Chain A
Amino acid sequence: MANIFPRWSNWLPLKLLVIAAVLGGAATAGAWYYFTPKYTRVGYQPVQPVAFPHDVHVSQLGMDCRYCHSHVEVAAHSNVPTTQTCMNCHIQVQPDNPKLKPVMDSWRTGKPIEWVQIHKTPDYVYFNHSAHVNRGVSCVSCHGKVNEMPVVYHDQPHSMAWCLDCHREPEKHLRPIDQVTNLNWQPTPAEGESVEEAQLRLGLQLKKEWHVNPPDMNCAGCHR
């Protein structure tokens, strides 16, 4: 009886096995990555209606975050400034700069500026700014060095696991309350100590003194 299969087909099973393994691995990796929020937003940098340069306002002019985001210490939501807030200065400063046209229009017509939202938690997540900034967690921990961004982009993953990293080890991020809005602040290392070690030392100390115990096992901490 003639051979049904040519010689090469002897290796077929092995080849198939290898391919299957690769595909399986890819599928798992894909699910792991895509079916979870981690990949979604990092690097997201939409065009804003007004080209507002954070670097100029913060780093050059030395404005504090809370001048514009005025409710961040009292509310869950960190507000974007009203047109009024912009006009406090720009009524005098560069009033006829074409870049400011949308602001001026809004001021004239009363129609709000529609800023594009960058940082977005899902609706089932109840993040509260005031709970963090009042307990020594800096803006920079979640938003990156906005003070150096000409155009703001999404810096951190903002995925649940990422939140938990800090909720389980807050010491990595705690700093003195008065340094919370100082995005350039760094702990001063002791003799022969790296910055990380210094942060850890300080963090642990603050955690102890302030009884910092963010919800880590308690779903209701963030999900209501």
Chain B
Amino acid sequence: MSKRVLNHPPEAATGKKYWRSLGQLAETPEFRGWLEKEFPQGASEFHGGELSRRNFLQLMGASTALAGLSLGACRRPEKHLVPFSKGVEWSIPGKALFYATSMPTRQGAAPLVILTVDGRPVKVEGNPSHPAAEGRSDTWSQSSILDLYDPDRSRFFLESGKESDGDKFSKGLDLLLEKAGDGAGLAFVLDRTLSPTRERLREEILKKYPKARWCVHEPAQPEQARLAASVAFGEGMMPDLQVEKADVILALDSDFLSATGGTVRTIRKFMARRRVEGPDSKMNRLYVVEHRYSTTGGMADHRLRVQASQIAHFTVALAEQIGTLTGDPNLKPLGGPTTKFTERWIEEAAADLVAAKGRSLVIVGDHQPVAVQLLGYAINAALGNIGTTITGRRTEEKPGLTMGALAAAIREKQVQALFIVGANPMYSAPADLDWKNLQKSVPTVIRLGLYEDESSEGASWHVPLAHYLESWGDSLAADGSYTAVQPMVLPLYGGWSEIDFLARVAGLPKPAGPELVQETYMKRVGGEGATLTGTWNRFLLDGFAADTASKPEALTFNGGAAKDAIGKAAKPAAAAENTFEVVLEPCSKVDDGRFSNNGWLQELPDPISKLTWDNAAWISPVSAAKLGVTDGDVVEVSVNGRSLTIPVVRVPGTVDNSLTIALGYGRTKVGRVGIGTGVSAYPLMTTENPYFSTGASVKPTGAKYKLAITQEHGTLEGRGADLTRQANITDWQANASNGDYFKKMGMDSHIPENISLYSNPPLNEPHQWGMTVDLNSCLGCSACMLACQAENNVPIVGKEQVINGREMHWLRSDRYFASDEAGVDDPEMIIEPMLCQHCENAPCETVCPVNATVHSEDGLNVMAYNRCIGTRYCANNCPYKVRRFNFFDYHQRPLDKLYTWNLINEKGTPDTLKMRNNPNVTVRMRGVMEKCTFCVQRIQEAKIAAKVRAKDSANMLIPTDAFTVACAQACPTDAIVFGNIKDPDSKVSKMRASPRSYRLLEYLNTQPRVSYLARIRNPNLKMPGADRIGSFMSDGHDHGHGAKPAAHGTPTGGNH
């Protein structure tokens, strides 16, 4: 895509025109015509004036064969500059505008700011002024921009599969609703969103059709949490974890530090207590008990592997222990655990929790049974945490029918018309409901969906759903504050928004987005006699209504009720040696399957398994060895009479006899990207035990399946002391006086003085850019990777090329396991983001024969794509292997056409995808090298802004931390910090000054501009094996390395 957004191709038939003139964009016949074609003629690139950089260069190439003259013709295509006929408010051609909005998710709104250029939304950022986001974002909001432009999205109204239009649908709907009467025959299935407007419309609908059924289907959002809370604290009250107040935290199978299990808000609260300035800093302590490594487990100071199905027993054991220590009546007697656990582990952990009475916190995973969660609350009560680290919050969410109840109603033929709004039950309903046949049995099914997917099949009507970036709406953020959803563009494919649809069903007079939201807004925020002028615009400007966050409420723990419930609860089976448990959990990438067609997410490596494009059953290396299977071997999993064949992937740190399978794969009807990825785990999901079931048998089928894993090698090969430095806070305190404690480890403990053969130009600019990466706060959530991909037009290469080792991510997150020999099955894990280190003495620069990569006076290792001829020498000579080569023309060619001869094969990338590209970053063609540029486009924008400000003065300094790079801006934990290292006040300078800061492979004298901050662990020294925790990495004793972890890796030691 050309960065020149004003280019105008003579033939108006291409879709390029309409994002320039937003008016009526979806209605224009040209656009419709283009939609039919879907793929623009590759040739039009030549005659169509839009001479992009790539075919510009291809022309150069072709012309070397032809006579130079013929070049002239191609070189000077007739291009047009097309101004608006009338000026448009705010719009300055080529200048970016930011609009606040938010992404509705099942956990509430993710507050966002969208960067739009000439009417095209191109980048998503967290909303800096919103208390729940503080400018941070996550993988799902970062990637949502790609869904907006997804060419596979639903584009047409379909009447039982045949193309139709909105008016016909409205008529059909009216006919249907006339006959609806009291709505006894109507049923609604929806996603979970915390949208007040939607709740209002729900009431409207129920007012009109009192008997209508309303069901929220959220396969990855357990009901248990709400039920447990209502028992423990009363109806409509939800606990709100004050993680930042807790000194000691015990997570029982709770992945609360991840997008799936937590929110940016929780993560930031936790990290607030994880920062360490110096050896004397206070940091919280995290105990994690889980069945496989999660990003939360990666953060743990002490981690215990326990099967998800055994967490109940563990909790009981813990409760008893704490009961003895506190004498709390609610905790004894509980009949005792049926399974034995490492007593000492429990004793010490319990002691630690009790010692921190009122400052501790026990978190039980949402998908654990109600009884277990109640027990968790009981423990917290006993620890005096209720009211301190756990406060209450009123929830407005009124529970609807369960899917089970709705299914029953359908079975009894009570449902005549089924409205499926967003949700995709055909794919994700629990298997025992046999939903497929149920839905078919309903006379009228009306589907509002982003895609024509499983649930649209056989529906009487399919209505295209508008993306949230195309629709009006509202939602509640994680802190309960009232947050706006406003459109950035008119629906590209003419979809209806959810509230428009519901309003239409409710038969409201004015079913159009803004008015619906305004009405809610006036009710909630405006108060009596308020007018829209002023406050409403403010609301849209900020993206949320100030101080509408829910107030913390006092909690009263209903111990009695809890105890009864616990008592009544069935005791889960004890762990059996020869059978497996099967755990189903939402995927960290495609969630419950809703993001299945998003190429960025599909290609994003899982933080732990590094698996892309598929799901696989996680299994511990030991169990795998027992079964005689290895990565990619397909096994048959049978449990409670249901079975499934799926490849396994061995993930260290997984508990034995446990399979963990991510939901959201194996879609049968989805776009080009999502189809054929992985295996659906829903066939194993049942209403009574949705998330884990025991007694599974696992048989190897002998079949093999190719898995695309981005990291071949997971261990450190004794290089931890160089690459991933860390220490226990106690060890550090012991060496507090030694400022070089972290600087002189491994090779660096004994390198001679570095001398460079090469002289480099002076770095004399007032701005010198640098970055720090804090290993102590990096979770591995990978939001940075997607932010980078979105900001820098990093291409998707597809599963086959990932298998070939050609993924393009400029920023990758390396995941290492390390342990001593004893702990090989239960190693420690560390995640290390790796990107171009912008070496001041860069090995890549000296070897490039054409000067395509050189150093800038502000300390960047810059890459001139249009100079690069692609020798790949620079990548070979990069010690960090962060350079990425365009082996194919990923931006021009469909991924399934990479190997078909290009000369006879036309380009076929949908224009919408080109529209997604960031116009400030060159789109690279095949054959050129690329890599992290420190978001040089942002740097340049900032510099130019400074110059414009300077005018005829000499002050061109960019204000301290006035801007940052995409990864740092997205990072929910502030692990990545970027800025001007010459400016003593900048955040990055302060971080670099930290005693924890070190640089990778110092001995090579590459002088990186990226420094890493060593990881600090805070173990409880009384715990078993505590003395060794954190020492493996810095010692580099990992799988296969037998040496004992002594005082190695310290300045006195080194590891050799």
A and B touch in the complex (CB under 8 A): yes
Closest to A211 in B: B954
Flag B841-863 by CB within 8 Å of A: 1 or 0 each. 00000000000001011101011
User: Is the Cβ of B857 less than 8 Å from the Cβ of A114?
Assistant: no
- Taking a contact as CB atoms closer than 8 A, the residue among B3, B81, B856 that contacts A80 in the complex is B81
Complex Cα spacing A114 to B857, Å: 41
B940 located at the interface, meaning its Cβ lies under 8 Å from any Cβ of chain A in the complex: yes
- Taking a contact as CB atoms closer than 8 A, the residue among B68, B865, B953 that contacts A31 in the complex is B68
B561 located at the interface, meaning its Cβ lies under 8 Å from any Cβ of chain A in the complex: no
**Contact segment of B84-92, B126-134, B699-707:** B84-92
- List, in ascending order, chain B residues with CB within 8 A of A114's CB: 8, 80-82
Tell me, rounded to whole Å, the shortest Cβ–Cβ distance linking A96 to chain B. Answer: 19
- List, in ascending order, chain B residues with CB within 8 A of A123's CB: 2-4, 51-53, 56, 922
B675 located at the interface, meaning its Cβ lies under 8 Å from any Cβ of chain A in the complex: no
User: Is the Cβ of B948 less than 8 Å from the Cβ of A82?
Assistant: no
Listed residue (B56, B85, B92) with the most chain A CB atoms within 10 angstroms of its CB: B85
Interface size on B, residues (CB 8 A): 62
Interface size on A, residues (CB 8 A): 60
- Taking a contact as CB atoms closer than 8 A, the residue among B81, B93, B948 that contacts A131 in the complex is B948
A173 located at the interface, meaning its Cβ lies under 8 Å from any Cβ of chain B in the complex: no
- Contact A134-B947, Cβ < 8 Å, known A75-B93, A83-B86, A219-B867: yes
A217 located at the interface, meaning its Cβ lies under 8 Å from any Cβ of chain B in the complex: yes
- List, in ascending order, chain B residues with CB within 8 A of A111's CB: 85
- List, in ascending order, chain A residues with CB within 8 A of B160's CB: none
Interface of chain A: mostly helix, strand, loop or mixed = loop
User: Is the Cβ of B64 less than 8 Å from the Cβ of A220?
Assistant: no
- List, in ascending order, chain A residues with CB within 8 A of B82's CB: 112-115
- Taking a contact as CB atoms closer than 8 A, the residue among B85, B87, B92 that contacts A106 in the complex is B85
Complex Cα spacing A30 to B865, Å: 25
User: Is the Cβ of A117 less than 8 Å from the Cβ of B79?
Assistant: yes
A185 located at the interface, meaning its Cβ lies under 8 Å from any Cβ of chain B in the complex: no
A186 located at the interface, meaning its Cβ lies under 8 Å from any Cβ of chain B in the complex: no
Tell me, rounded to whole Å, the shortest Cβ–Cβ distance linking A82 to chain B. Answer: 5
Listed residue (A33, A110, A122) with the most chain B CB atoms within 10 angstroms of its CB: A122
B6 located at the interface, meaning its Cβ lies under 8 Å from any Cβ of chain A in the complex: yes
- List, in ascending order, chain A residues with CB within 8 A of B95's CB: 71, 74-76
User: Is the Cβ of B53 less than 8 Å from the Cβ of A223?
Assistant: no
Complex Cα spacing A79 to B88, Å: 13
- Taking a contact as CB atoms closer than 8 A, the residue among B68, B69, B940 that contacts A126 in the complex is B940
Complex Cα spacing A163 to B526, Å: 57
Tell me, rounded to whole Å, the shortest Cβ–Cβ distance linking A106 to chain B. Answer: 5
Closest to B924 in A: A124
User: Is the Cβ of B920 less than 8 Å from the Cβ of A224?
Assistant: yes
A53 located at the interface, meaning its Cβ lies under 8 Å from any Cβ of chain B in the complex: no
Tell me, rounded to whole Å, the shortest Cβ–Cβ distance linking A143 to chain B. Answer: 14
- List, in ascending order, chain A residues with CB within 8 A of B954's CB: 209-211
User: Is the Cβ of A220 less than 8 Å from the Cβ of B4?
Assistant: no
Tell me, rounded to whole Å, the shortest Cβ–Cβ distance linking B306 to chain A. Answer: 50
Tell me, rounded to whole Å, the shortest Cβ–Cβ distance linking B70 to chain A. Answer: 10
A56 located at the interface, meaning its Cβ lies under 8 Å from any Cβ of chain B in the complex: no
Listed residue (B93, B920, B933) with the most chain A CB atoms within 10 angstroms of its CB: B93
Q: Which residues of chain B from 133 to 154 have a CB within 8 Å of any chain A CB?
A: none
Closest to A68 in B: B83
Flag B771-785 by CB within 8 Å of A: 1 or 0 each. 000000000000000
Flag B1-20 by CB within 8 Å of A: 1 or 0 each. 01110101000000000000
B76 located at the interface, meaning its Cβ lies under 8 Å from any Cβ of chain A in the complex: yes
A8 located at the interface, meaning its Cβ lies under 8 Å from any Cβ of chain B in the complex: no
Tell me, rounded to whole Å, the shortest Cβ–Cβ distance linking B84 to chain A. Answer: 5
B1047 located at the interface, meaning its Cβ lies under 8 Å from any Cβ of chain A in the complex: no
Complex Cα spacing A76 to B95, Å: 8
User: Is the Cβ of B69 less than 8 Å from the Cβ of A34?
Assistant: yes
- List, in ascending order, chain A residues with CB within 8 A of B75's CB: 37, 40
A169 located at the interface, meaning its Cβ lies under 8 Å from any Cβ of chain B in the complex: no
Tell me, rounded to whole Å, the shortest Cβ–Cβ distance linking A197 to chain B. Answer: 22
A116 located at the interface, meaning its Cβ lies under 8 Å from any Cβ of chain B in the complex: yes
Q: Which residues of chain A from 112 to 151 have a CB within 8 Å of any chain B CB?
A: 112-117, 120, 122-124, 126, 128, 130-131, 134-136
Complex Cα spacing A122 to B52, Å: 8
User: Is the Cβ of A130 less than 8 Å from the Cβ of B937?
Assistant: no
- List, in ascending order, chain A residues with CB within 8 A of B933's CB: 220, 224
Tell me, rounded to whole Å, the shortest Cβ–Cβ distance linking A53 to chain B. Answer: 18
User: Is the Cβ of A46 less than 8 Å from the Cβ of B78?
Assistant: yes
Closest to A73 in B: B948
- Taking a contact as CB atoms closer than 8 A, the residue among B8, B71, B83, B947 that contacts A82 in the complex is B83
- List, in ascending order, chain B residues with CB within 8 A of A109's CB: 85
Listed residue (A122, A124, A131) with the most chain B CB atoms within 10 angstroms of its CB: A124
Closest to B937 in A: A224
Closest to B944 in A: A131
A21 located at the interface, meaning its Cβ lies under 8 Å from any Cβ of chain B in the complex: no
- Taking a contact as CB atoms closer than 8 A, the residue among A112, A113, A224 that contacts B921 in the complex is A224
Q: Which residues of chain B from 952 to 980 have a CB within 8 Å of any chain A CB?
A: 952-954, 956
User: Is the Cβ of B53 less than 8 Å from the Cβ of A220?
Assistant: no
- Taking a contact as CB atoms closer than 8 A, the residue among B53, B76, B94, B854 that contacts A76 in the complex is B94
A188 located at the interface, meaning its Cβ lies under 8 Å from any Cβ of chain B in the complex: no
B525 located at the interface, meaning its Cβ lies under 8 Å from any Cβ of chain A in the complex: no
Tell me, rounded to whole Å, the shortest Cβ–Cβ distance linking B948 to chain A. Answer: 5
Flag A66-94 by CB within 8 Å of B: 1 or 0 each. 00000101111101111111000000000
- List, in ascending order, chain A residues with CB within 8 A of B863's CB: 219
Closest to A107 in B: B85
User: Is the Cβ of B854 less than 8 Å from the Cβ of A124?
Assistant: no
User: Is the Cβ of B948 less than 8 Å from the Cβ of A211?
Assistant: no
Tell me, rounded to whole Å, the shortest Cβ–Cβ distance linking B647 to chain A. Answer: 41
User: Is the Cβ of B78 less than 8 Å from the Cβ of A110?
Assistant: no
Tell me, rounded to whole Å, the shortest Cβ–Cβ distance linking B82 to chain A. Answer: 5
A11 located at the interface, meaning its Cβ lies under 8 Å from any Cβ of chain B in the complex: no
- List, in ascending order, chain B residues with CB within 8 A of A33's CB: 68
- Taking a contact as CB atoms closer than 8 A, the residue among B76, B858, B956 that contacts A218 in the complex is B858
Closest to B921 in A: A224
User: Is the Cβ of A82 less than 8 Å from the Cβ of B85?
Assistant: yes
- List, in ascending order, chain B residues with CB within 8 A of A124's CB: 53, 865-866, 922
B510 located at the interface, meaning its Cβ lies under 8 Å from any Cβ of chain A in the complex: no
A44 located at the interface, meaning its Cβ lies under 8 Å from any Cβ of chain B in the complex: yes
Complex Cα spacing A113 to B56, Å: 26
- Taking a contact as CB atoms closer than 8 A, the residue among B51, B69, B80, B862 that contacts A115 in the complex is B80
- Taking a contact as CB atoms closer than 8 A, the residue among A73, A84, A219, A220 that contacts B85 in the complex is A84
User: Is the Cβ of B865 less than 8 Å from the Cβ of A40?
Assistant: no
Complex Cα spacing A118 to B953, Å: 33
Complex Cα spacing A38 to B936, Å: 27
- List, in ascending order, chain A residues with CB within 8 A of B94's CB: 75-77
A5 located at the interface, meaning its Cβ lies under 8 Å from any Cβ of chain B in the complex: no
User: Is the Cβ of A82 less than 8 Å from the Cβ of B854?
Assistant: no
Complex Cα spacing A39 to B75, Å: 10
- List, in ascending order, chain A residues with CB within 8 A of B64's CB: 35
- List, in ascending order, chain A residues with CB within 8 A of B527's CB: none
Listed residue (A71, A111, A123, A177) with the most chain B CB atoms within 10 angstroms of its CB: A123
Complex Cα spacing A77 to B950, Å: 19
A221 located at the interface, meaning its Cβ lies under 8 Å from any Cβ of chain B in the complex: yes
Q: Which residues of chain A from 190 to 224 have a CB within 8 Å of any chain B CB?
A: 206, 209-211, 215, 217-221, 223-224
Flag B29-73 by CB within 8 Å of A: 1 or 0 each. 000000000000000000000011100100010011000110110
B761 located at the interface, meaning its Cβ lies under 8 Å from any Cβ of chain A in the complex: yes
Complex Cα spacing A55 to B944, Å: 31
A41 located at the interface, meaning its Cβ lies under 8 Å from any Cβ of chain B in the complex: yes
- List, in ascending order, chain A residues with CB within 8 A of B51's CB: 123
- Contact A113-B937, Cβ < 8 Å, known A73-B948, A134-B948: no
- List, in ascending order, chain B residues with CB within 8 A of A110's CB: 85-86
Q: Which residues of chain B from 200 to 241 have a CB within 8 Å of any chain A CB?
A: none
B568 located at the interface, meaning its Cβ lies under 8 Å from any Cβ of chain A in the complex: no
13 contacts between A and B (CB under 8 A): A44-B76, A75-B93, A76-B944, A80-B83, A107-B85, A112-B84, A115-B80, A115-B83, A124-B865, A124-B866, A130-B944, A134-B951, A219-B856
Q: Give 9 nearest A-B pairs by CB, closest first.
A: A34-B68, A77-B94, A218-B856, A123-B53, A219-B864, A220-B862, A117-B79, A211-B954, A83-B85
